[in-house]
Amino acid sequence: MEYWVNENEVQTYQPAGHEDTYNRRLLERKSDGLRNIEVVLGEMGPRGHAAPHAHQEMEQAMYIIDGHLRVRIGEKEAILSAGSAIAIPSGLMHEVWSASEHVKFLIVYSPVKKN
């Protein structure tokens, strides 16, 4: 079991339903012994987009590290910048777009999806 990881040691993947988006699953239930949270580092290019979707049994929190992100949660929409935190309750439709050339953000899911 590993207790720490550097982002450069983790392979990127493109989530389904996302464009110009590259994630790194930093901490996950399978290998890190965590039962209730998962931490993902996300990056979007200028055409980055996550199609509308909802996580029925997971809460999601995001923190913008660099750049600007346009976010729609339910009926509310905003353009947010580095230093902004975002709360997405379970079951709520949301959509995300890059609003700059590059966006870097942290995502936390709880509880994690059991595979």
Query: Could you give the residue ranges of the DSSP H alpha helices within the chain?
Result: 29-32
Q: What is the pLDDT of residues 46-95, one digit of tens each?
A: 999 999 999 999 999 999 999 999 999 999 999 999 999 999 999 999 99
Q: What is the pLDDT of residues 82-112, one digit of tens each?
A: 999 999 999 999 999 999 999 999 999 998 7
Distance of CA 54 to the CA centre of its chain: 13
| Cα(107)–Cα(112) distance, integer angstroms | 12
Class for the domain spanning 22-110: mainly beta
Question: Domain map of the chain by residue range?
Answer: 22-110
Enter the pTM of the model: 0.92
Average pLDDT (40-45) is 98
